[in-house]
Amino acid sequence: MSAPVSTSPLPAFSALHARRVPGDFLDCYSVASPLSPRAAAEIITDFPGWAQGLLRLRRLITTPFGLDNDGPEAPDRVGIFPVESETDTELVAGFDDKHLNFRVSVTSHQGRVTLATWVEPHNIGGRIYLAAIMPFHILISRNALARVAAHPLSGQTA
């Protein structure tokens, strides 16, 4: 059985602290795993088929509104997300769009991998979008960390 995914505080060293202001969205989950931030981020962004289907549906729904589905060109990406910064303990990826800015942070510290998502809605459209995707975001985030925990190098079994 894989290790449980738990809600956790944003690690004190995370670059996301510098972005947070009142009214922003932030959630954070963690799991026991010795993987590096890059290795964990690669697993996290290798979405299973059901999540890929949700992303295709998102693309169909949001394209008429001019929302960016791919992000800006970037020399480095994890999955669909442009990498903004990377250290030995944290990888931050994401981009700014007209309805909201978002970043995901994957940290590795003291045998735990943490996945945090920060969102800064710009307008009512961003707040509506965030509310609409929230159940799916939670499901995808928790599943992603369960897959990190189940990775053979994490020492857990699925």
Q: Is residue 1 part of a domain?
A: no
Query: Across the chain, what does the average pLDDT equal?
Result: 89
Q: How many domains does the chain have?
A: 1
Return the residue matching tokens 């159940």: 135
Residue-wise burial string across 12-36, b where 16 or more C-beta atoms lie within 10 A, e elsewhere: eebbbeebeeeeebbbbbbbbbebb
Average pLDDT of the segment spanning 108-126: 94
Q: Is residue 82 part of a domain?
A: yes
pLDDT category at 158 given cuts 50, 70, 90 is very low
Q: Are 45 and 81 in contact (CB under 8 A)?
A: yes
32/113 Cα distance (integer angstroms): 6
CATH code, 130: 3.30.530
Domain boundaries, position 147: 6-154
According to the model, what pLDDT value does residue 103 have? 96
Q: Does residue 119 have a pLDDT over 90?
A: yes
According to the model, what pLDDT value does residue 156 have? 55
